[in-house]
Amino acid sequence: MLDTLRRIIQEVNRAPDLSRALEVIVARLKQAMAVDVCSVYLVDSDAQQYVMMATDGYHPSVVGQVRLEFGQGLVGEVVRREEPLNLDNASDHPSYIFSRQIDEEIYHGFLGVPIIQHRMVLGVLVVRQRERRRFAEEEETFLFTLGAQLAGAISHAEANGDIDRLLRESDEARYALKGASGTPGAAVGRAHVVYPQANLEAIPDHPVEDVEAEIASFHAAVAAVERDMRIISARMVDTLSSEEIALFDALILMLRSETLVDSTVEGIRAGNWAPGALRKTIDEHVSAFEKMDDLYLRERAGDVRDLGRRIIEHLQSSHPTAHAYVPGTILVGEEVSASQLAEVPANMLVAVVSARGSSASHVAILARALGIPAVMGIDDLPVNRLEGQELVVDGYQARLFVRPSEAVRREFQRLQREEAELSDELQELAALPAETPDGTVIPLYANTGLLADISASLRCGAEGVGLYRTEVPFLIRDRFPGEEEQRRTYRQVLEAFAPAPVTVRTLDIGGDKMLPYFPVHEDNPFLGWRGIRISLDHPEIFLAQVRAILRANIGLNNLQLLLPMVSNVTEVDSALGLIHRAHHELCDEEEGGEMPRVGVMIEVPSTVYQIPALAQRVDFFSIGTNDLTQYLMAVDRNNAQVAALYDTLHPAVLRAIHQVVREAHAAARPVSVCGEMAGDPAAALLLLAMGVDSLSMSAASLLRVKWAIRTFPLTKIHQLFEEIQELEDGASVRALLHRSLDEAGLGGLIRAGR
Ligand code: PEP
Ligand code: MG
């Protein structure tokens, strides 16, 4: 059974489109289960119907014609129950309805299973038997497993517009894709696809200008790989068995095989660039191998993929990666990284779209800092078909429109205009304090990382920098920056804001912020070597950074130092020891300046319970709600699959923050919040009610938060907080906050609030 299942799935995955995939399924299933009919019904939500999309057994003319209203028939029963329905005589069931189109009455045995993806029923797989037949439990689970696998293929096809095309027989090639989460804003632009080095599947198609030169560089790459393989094989003769060495020879033969070279060259001649043409060839080879009966030959599919990657690596070194960016660029990728984003000039970039990640991912945070929308977690993003396509990015509702219709484009251009108008109105608040109508003032600081967002922060009246993420300048280089290079970067930020305070956080790499030149491979990077842990294990990196920061502060004295990812007081002791050492060394060289105030990020739950001990060691606290939420709730901030569970307004998160503020104040230490939560106008009000001393957020959020603070009297906010403390889940907290904002005439903030 397992083998049959695997083969059907492989064949389905290779099908060029959904209708072919469904045909394969019904034909193979009918045969494997020895039934008289096998059909697939898909849900057409617009028409509110179930439509038979493929059949083997009934007359082919009924495909697309047999339609049941929602809730009707046995298919409707399977959808309602979201479970298999196994009947030895279908017509005995109360939901049975007779259909003349398919001559229903001759069939007795019925087994239907739902096809479910992300809690949604997409369709129903049905097998029928003329005789009475109660299907065995293994048959039920077999069909069920296939249904689950099919769900992926269907939603993928849905993403590609196939379903719409099939259902409506229209070839309009536009479609909207849904992401798991987004960051506020709307943008219209063109896709530029980025992909990690040597990730075959993600390579986009790309038109080629000089075909002959492209073919030549492809041949050169193949020759280079052959050379590499010979060198490796020669080096391995003493360590590998002759059988294993023979494998290398087989790979070299494969490299020379005409099919691999010729079909790629053909692809290039047809107008695709070499990496795209090679991806297609490798795909074809891989599926040919996967189809083979012999296990040994099937496993060669992996070797072909490996060969492909090797050729790509060589091709990439001959294709300069530097890209000429154009205005209106929308960065698109399987997993867009912070460094890929940082590479694009800020004035060219209008949005980010990533198949993986969530709105709490660092790349989304950077997008927010630049004031551009991001849509994260579109698992069916057809990355390699998007290069150069026109896109509309709707960050509010986490939607992406590919090749939008004129109406959609116009609608989003209008939204963009409204946004700009609101920003103009808000701009008048820049010079005013963040003061509630009843006189409570709270400083609003900016989060920065890119030098590009300094001017935006100043423009919107940031009263300093509450979080300068120093890893960002590290991310956009191809090596560790030297001490003097670092000093110059930090100096620019300190100078731009002086005498206002600038909180510089020491390096927080690890997690989803990997330096390309300092790779770390871990199973659980967010629970691994990250932030202060790396700094303490590499005092040479930490000391150089601290010296650079202290030297940048000379004569300005507006620096505060912040330590990330602290989980223990001993880490603070060690870090303070190194900071004092760096300061003394500089004082000896007469470059010391003043010793800055030092603070700790509260973002690992263990620190929530250690405030008194930490308060004895440091001068202030800054709550990192992004990580605190992730660690408190065990929800990976980067995982689109669980993005709906990631909630900074969860009562547990609110209680943790409240406790930190109370205990820090008891020890006379101020508390700031620098996670994304501080930039959500509704959440910012709650933080104010809890007594947080300052808020730090991306420049794009600052004026909205100020507007909310200047509208709500503190007494009202306190009342609201009282009510909220009684609530038991994040959704209710959000609903109550949004209702209050709406009533206060701040509805415009809600749309952009999450
Ligand atoms: C946080 O965790 O809330 C934070 C501000 O740090 P980062 O987002 O850089 O991890
Ligand atoms: Mg953090």
pLDDT tens profile 51-70: 999 999 998 888 988 999 99
Q: What is the pLDDT of residue 239?
A: 58
Nearest to 483 by CA among 542, 544, 540: 544
425-724 — its CATH code? 3.20.20.60
Q: How far is CA 630 from each of CA 436, 625, 633, rounded to the nearest angstrom?
A: 31, 8, 6
Tell me: cis bond preceding 499? Omega within 30 of 0 counts: yes
667 band by pLDDT with thresholds 50, 70 and 90: very high
From the CA of 628, the nearest ligand is 1
465-469/502-505 β-pairing: parallel
Residue 332 Cα to ligand 1 middle (Å): 23
Mean pLDDT of 137-164: 75
The closest residue, in CA terms, to atom 3 on ligand 1 is 624
296 band by pLDDT with thresholds 50, 70 and 90: low
What amino acid is encoded at 630 in this protein?
Q
pLDDT digits (tens, 9 = 90+) for 182-228: 888 889 999 999 876 556 777 888 888 889 999 998 998 898 888 87
The better pLDDT of the pair 578, 13 is held by 578
Residue 259 Cα to ligand 1 middle (Å): 50
Token couple for 320: 């300069």
Please check the confidence at residue 367 and state whether its pLDDT lies above 90: no
Please check the confidence at residue 754 and state whether its pLDDT lies above 50: no
CB 112 within 8 A of CB 124: yes
Domain parsing of the chain, residue ranges: 2-167, 177-194+323-424, 200-316, 425-724
147 band by pLDDT with thresholds 50, 70 and 90: confident
Rounded (10°) CA dihedral 50, 53, 56, 58: 60
CB 557 within 8 A of CB 593: yes
pLDDT digits (tens, 9 = 90+) for 470-500: 988 887 776 888 899 999 999 999 999 999 9
**Distance from C-alpha of 248 to C-alpha of 229, rounded to nearest angstrom:** 7
Q: Which atom of ligand 1 is nearest to the CA of 676?
A: 3
CB-based contacts of 540: which residues, under 8 Å, 6+ apart? none
Residue 560 Cα to ligand 2 middle (Å): 17
The closest residue, in CA terms, to atom 6 on ligand 1 is 624
Question: For residue 555, is it left (φ>0), alpha (ψ between -120 and 50) or beta?
Answer: left
Residue 623 Cα to ligand 2 middle (Å): 9
Report pTM: 0.73
State whether the beta carbon of 508 lies less than 6 angstroms from ligand 1.
yes
Pocket residue to mutate for ligand 1, from 629, 674, 696, 698, most atoms within 8 A of Cβ: 674
State whether the beta carbon of 627 lies less than 6 angstroms from ligand 1.
yes
Please check the confidence at residue 556 and state whether its pLDDT lies above 60: yes
Residue 24 Cα to ligand 1 middle (Å): 48
- The 8-class DSSP code of residue 93 comes to S
579 band by pLDDT with thresholds 50, 70 and 90: very high
Please check the confidence at residue 248 and state whether its pLDDT lies above 80: no
Residue positions annotated with a catalytic role: 362, 674
Q: Which atom of ligand 1 is nearest to the CA of 603?
A: 2
159 band by pLDDT with thresholds 50, 70 and 90: low
Report the mean per-residue pLDDT for the chain: 87
From the CA of 624, the nearest ligand is 1
Question: For residue 107, is it left (φ>0), alpha (ψ between -120 and 50) or beta?
Answer: beta
Would you say domain 177-194+323-424 falls under CATH 3.40.50.720?
no
**Which CATH architecture group holds 200-316?**
Orthogonal Bundle (1.10)
State whether the beta carbon of 625 lies less than 6 angstroms from ligand 1.
yes
**Which segments of 553-698 does DSSP mark as H helices, in order?**
569-588, 605-608, 611-615, 625-633, 651-666, 681-690
Choosing among 3.40.50.1000, 1.10.3720.10, 3.30.450.40, 3.40.50.1100, the CATH entry for 2-167 is 3.30.450.40
